[in-house]
């Protein structure tokens, strides 16, 4: 039966409806909640109202496409905004379905479940999954059989870093160095265990795939950072098909991905599945268990 998940993130609000693990409908709206949180520390009432209206529309779209159950997940905006509980209550009422704020560990775990569910390979091979979002970034290491064994999150994502350091178009060399220093500060003490293979999920990873390909090693990421930091946004949109909401944050996202890839010491393979797919998989399991 079709199931739906609405993901309220720092950059976008997304809906995915799937049947048996196969997506049948998706939609996104760029609301940039993280920008408001970075500026004000909280989500203004006007932005709360806009988010509620967006979630209500997406809930209607999910039901129109057959979703018999729907869940709303709030990622870093719920954790970082002073009024995260107000956001939770507003979207739950708008969607008329369960809603919850994910912890950073839960967000990373669901991205791990989604990524490994979409890829092949040994069930016992230590695997890392990197998910750079707008407000935070997660790295998870574990196995398909045993699940996650190491989860870390940094309170810095592509939208937050852009707001702090990279507002220019293009950002320029000085801003790039300031942003690198900000990333390094966020990663003090970050020491992941050894993995055998690594995946990158999320919007930043998909944008980098358009720029430099599906494998993100140190050379590809250095080129991705160079291209994003030195190319006007209009050219990136025209030449590589990046969406307006993504092109604004791609330089920051590339810097964070590059720093995480360096610490893992492995090239990252970009996969499309991530948090929403992991959440749909677990929602499907709960539905089947309840029907048994």
Q: How confident is the model at residue 214 (pLDDT cuts 50, 70, 90)?
A: very high
In this prediction the pTM is: 0.93
Q: Is a pLDDT exceeding 90 seen at residue 181?
A: yes
Q: Is a pLDDT exceeding 90 seen at residue 280?
A: yes
CATH class as words, domain 2-102: alpha beta
Every domain range in the chain assigned CATH 3.30.420.150: 105-270
**What was the pLDDT predicted at 121?**
61
**pLDDT above 70 as % of the chain:** 99
CATH (one of 3.30.1360.120, 3.40.140.10, 3.40.50.970, 3.30.420.150) for 105-270: 3.30.420.150
Every domain range in the chain assigned CATH 3.30.420.40: 2-102
Reduced 3-state DSSP string for the chain: CEEEEEEECCCEEEEEEEECCEEEEEEEEECCHHHHHHHHCCCCHHHHHHHHHHHHHHHHHHHHCCCCEEEEEECHHHHHCCCHHHHHHHHHHHHCCCEEECCHHHHHHHHHHHHHHCCCCCCCCCEEEEEECCCCEEEEEEECCCEEEEEEEECCCHHHHHHHHCCCCCCCHHHHHHHHHHHHHHCCCCCCCCCCEEEEECHHHHHHHHHHCCEECHHHHHHHHHHHHHCCHHHHHHHHCCCHHHHCCHHHHHHHHHHHHHHHCCCEEECCCCHHHHHHHHHHHHHHHHHC
pLDDT in tens, 54-81: 999 999 999 999 999 999 999 999 999 9
Q: Is a pLDDT exceeding 90 seen at residue 124?
A: no
């Amino acid at each position: 039966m079709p199931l739906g998940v609405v993901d309220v993130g720092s950059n976008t609000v997304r809906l995915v409806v799937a049947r048996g693990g196969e997506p049948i409908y998706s939609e996104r709206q760029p609301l940039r909640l993280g920008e408001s949180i970075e500026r004000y520390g909280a989500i203004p009432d006007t932005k709360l109202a806009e988010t509620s209206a967006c979630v209500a529309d997406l809930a209607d779209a999910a039901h129109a496409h057959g979703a018999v159950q729907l869940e709303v997940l709030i990622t870093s905006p719920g954790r970082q905004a002073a009024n995260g509980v107000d956001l939770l209550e507003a979207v739950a009422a708008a969607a008329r379905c369960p809603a919850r704020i994910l912890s950073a560990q839960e967000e990373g775990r669901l991205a791990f479940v989604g990524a490994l569910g979409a890829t092949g390979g040994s069930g016992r091979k230590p695997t890392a999954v990197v998910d750079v979002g707008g407000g935070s970034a997660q790295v998870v290491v574990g196995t398909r059989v045993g699940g996650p064994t190491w989860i870390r999150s940094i309170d810095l994502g592509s939208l937050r870093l852009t707001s702090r350091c990279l507002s220019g178009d293009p950002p320029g060399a000085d801003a790039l160095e300031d942003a690198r220093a900000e990333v390094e500060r966020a990663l003090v003490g970050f020491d992941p265990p050894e993995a055998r293979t690594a995946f990158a999920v999320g919007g930043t990873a998909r944008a980098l795939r358009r720029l430099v390909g599906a494998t993100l090693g140190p050379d590809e990421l250095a080129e991705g950072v160079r291209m994003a930091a030195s190319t006007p946004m209009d050219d990136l949109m025209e030449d590589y098909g990046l969406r307006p909401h993504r092109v604004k944050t791609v330089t920051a996202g590339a810097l964070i991905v590059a720093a995480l890839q360096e610490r893992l010491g492995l090239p990252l393979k970009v996969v499309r599945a991530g948090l929403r797919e992991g959440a749909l998989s677990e929602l499907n399991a709960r539905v089947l268990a309840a029907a048994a």
